[in-house]
Copies of this chain bind each other. A is one copy, B any other.
């Protein structure tokens, strides 16, 4: 049985919950087809510790597929991140009080890593399931991008990992209540979305070529 590692984050920025952990914890242990099983891990919203814990989880579970999820408060759809960049630039402190500015995630690492998820095929799969989704050209420069970059860096030297990437998800509706006018997505739809993502990852050898870019 191959492992699929899903990670979600602790709440941050004054929130009581984080939709990324709420969704992945409900999928922990689930079998996908007869060949893969989900393992869910919780990451702190901290620059340093998030990657230490991700590293432990990667070594422990030796997953074939890794998808880290994070909250993108204000975005309205499933946001398939294209690229992780080698910089931390925090506008607020992480949960440990750290606020790195213009520091590389990995000193001496490449400027960026592209996701190895088939993001265009995933977007199409989600659309066919009636779930709003789009390609994102930036995962920001906070802990989400940090984890995404760190994941891709570690994955680049772990042959067991076939696919790895990062997905941002909207607020839960109960969070959006406190942010007037903010978009949200219910937990049930998020769960369905993640399962559709995995279905697409498992059945896609070569990603589709469908336009999903941004003019600027």
Q: Could you list which residues of chain A lie within 8 angstroms of chain B, going by C-beta atoms?
A: 13, 70-73, 75-77, 79, 82-83, 85, 87-92, 99, 101-102, 110-114, 120, 126-127, 130-135, 137-142, 144, 168, 172-174, 176-177, 180-186, 188-189, 207, 209-216
Indicate which residue in B131, B134, B176 contacts A76 across the interface (CB closer than 8 Å). B176
Q: Decide yes or no: A211 and B89 within 8 Å by CB, A111-B83, A189-B186 being known contacts.
A: yes
Give the contacting residue for A101; candidates B111, B185, B209; CB below 8 A. Answer: B209
A216 with B70: in contact, given A102-B207, A141-B137 (CB under 8 Å)? Answer: yes
Partner of A168, one of B71, B174, B216: B216
Q: How far is the CB of A187 from chain B (nearest CB, A)?
A: 10
Supplied contacts A72-B216, A89-B213, 18 more A-B pairs, CB within 8 Å: A72-B215, A76-B182, A76-B184, A89-B135, A89-B211, A91-B211, A92-B215, A101-B209, A110-B111, A130-B173, A132-B184, A134-B180, A137-B138, A138-B138, A139-B216, A140-B214, A140-B215, A183-B183
A216 CB to closest chain B CB (Å) equals 4
Report the Cα distance A120→B189, complex, angstroms.
Answer: 28
**Copies of this chain held together in the complex:** 4
Indicate if the CB atoms of A75 and B216 lie closer than 8 Å: yes
Specify which of B71, B77, B99, B114 is in contact with A211 (CB 8 Å cutoff).
B99
16 residue pairs from A and B, CB less than 8 Å apart: A72-B216, A83-B87, A83-B112, A89-B212, A90-B211, A91-B214, A91-B215, A101-B213, A111-B112, A126-B177, A132-B176, A132-B182, A137-B140, A140-B215, A184-B185, A186-B186
